[in-house]
A and B are shown apart, each in its own frame.
Chain A
């Protein structure tokens, strides 16, 4: 189980993540990512990992959720 988490101190609202992973990431009215706190569905894991890697500010993380 894993979910996306934004480090808002690092995030500058470039918006690449929302373009790369619109299934899970939208933008607020000021251009900062809104991620769901829900677990990332397994079919989207590869895309989520790629999106995390492509954030220029390393502000997006895929966090393991312990159940």
Chain B
């Protein structure tokens, strides 16, 4: 096999020989059992050589434009156009590049699975992103479950002298808010996993004061494939407005909880079927993440899993989480447990988040426990917390609670009279450990 890199001019045209036709694009076609990471050789034979030679500035601009045509957006949940971020950082001096594999979301596994199964695709993307913005190195901050695999893959590439950009792999902080982009920068720089104030934008002033690109690891993996096979190939799945594929974590009351790669816009019910189908009659689905939204299961199954498809339900694809809540569980109790966790996970920097989230959690615990609660006060506090933090953490928690009050109206009535009888615990909430 040749490992000579191809020129970028060629790389942005689809190389029909290697371009995979169907899903999955990012994950192994036939997952080996027991699961193991794709070796460098198997990675290169599947995808062809990495699209990163010694490209000139013009090639880089061409490639950023190709990423723009592909319509790739951030897969960490914010869906910001990747090409815009690349262009903004590339315009600055001595930029820095960070791959974000923190995945602090307790129920989500898609980034861990991607890093553990296809580490070289993530590394391809990190190297490429560094070259696209003119950075001399890249750092990937990885969840501890994928740290060793990614580190070994990076070492394998160094031995093979594959890359012209040095990629280092670092352990992420094990906290919910640690994945927020500015918190990742602060973690690398100062060992503090808490967000910083904006402005300045990271693309203006981030790591060491340099313009900084922070991209989710899945976004980097897509980037590596767009550079190989082009925008047209990327857009051959997904919807015209939201092209491409995305990784999703399907958890809760499904027969085979798993990480899947779906075309954006795949109906929610079909995604559940890909995870073996419901393991019990379903009541509701949590979509996006712990800062996402509850939706009624019956209303959601026919909707496309896309921003446009879920907007009418007040939900978003977010970081690709779908948790199925069975009829035997209480959505209010689940939400109360998660909101207490989110309150505990606040970085504690902003007053409304530090004081407001515990207050919201306590009131919600009273609701969940069938104790006298003041829903008017709860709603007032939600208004006083929403949008009033240095990061999206408090607003995300508010979103979750509001969606619970919308979705679990029947339980609200039952709880006012005692209990709804739901007992099952579905959503994982890590116990507070030493920090």
Contact = CB atoms under 8 A, between A and B. Distances in A.
The answer on A and B forming one complex is yes
Interface string B344-365: 0000011111011001000000
A66 to B, nearest CB: 14
B197 A9 contact: yes
Given A12-B351, A28-B352, A34 B384 contact: yes
Contacts of B349: 8-9
Contact of A9 (B196, B381, B384): B196
B197 A30 contact: no
A29 B383 CA distance: 11
B390 A9 contact: yes
B24 interface: no
A54 B290 CA distance: 38
Contacts, number: 45
A30 B384 CA distance: 9
A13 B351 contact: yes
Interface in A2-41: 6-13, 28-32, 34
B347 to A, nearest CB: 9
B390 A30 contact: no
24 contacts: A7-B390, A8-B350, A8-B351, A8-B352, A8-B389, A8-B390, A9-B195, A9-B196, A9-B349, A11-B350, A12-B351, A28-B351, A28-B352, A28-B384, A29-B356, A29-B359, A29-B380, A29-B381, A29-B384, A30-B352, A30-B355, A30-B384, A32-B388, A34-B388
A30 B350 CA distance: 11
Contacts of B195: 9
B389 A30 contact: no
Nearest to B354: A30
A9 B355 contact: no
Interface residues of B, number: 17
B355 A7 contact: no
Nearest to B351: A32
Nearest to B349: A9
Nearest to A29: B384
Contacts of A34: 384, 388
Contact of B197 (A7, A12, A31): A7
B191 to A, nearest CB: 17
B354 to A, nearest CB: 8
B388 A8 contact: yes
A40 B351 CA distance: 24
Nearest to A10: B197
A37 B381 CA distance: 18
A57 B197 CA distance: 14
A63 B12 CA distance: 42
A9 B197 CA distance: 6
A11 B390 CA distance: 10
A6 B351 CA distance: 11
Nearest to A35: B388
Contacts of B353: 8
Nearest to B388: A8
B340 to A, nearest CB: 18
Given A8-B352, A11-B351, A12-B351, 10 more contacts: A6-B388, A8-B350, A8-B351, A9-B350, A11-B350, A28-B388, A29-B359, A29-B381, A30-B359, A34-B388
Contacts of B384: 28-30, 34
Q: Max chain B CB contacts within 10 Å: which of A6, A9, A34?
A: A9
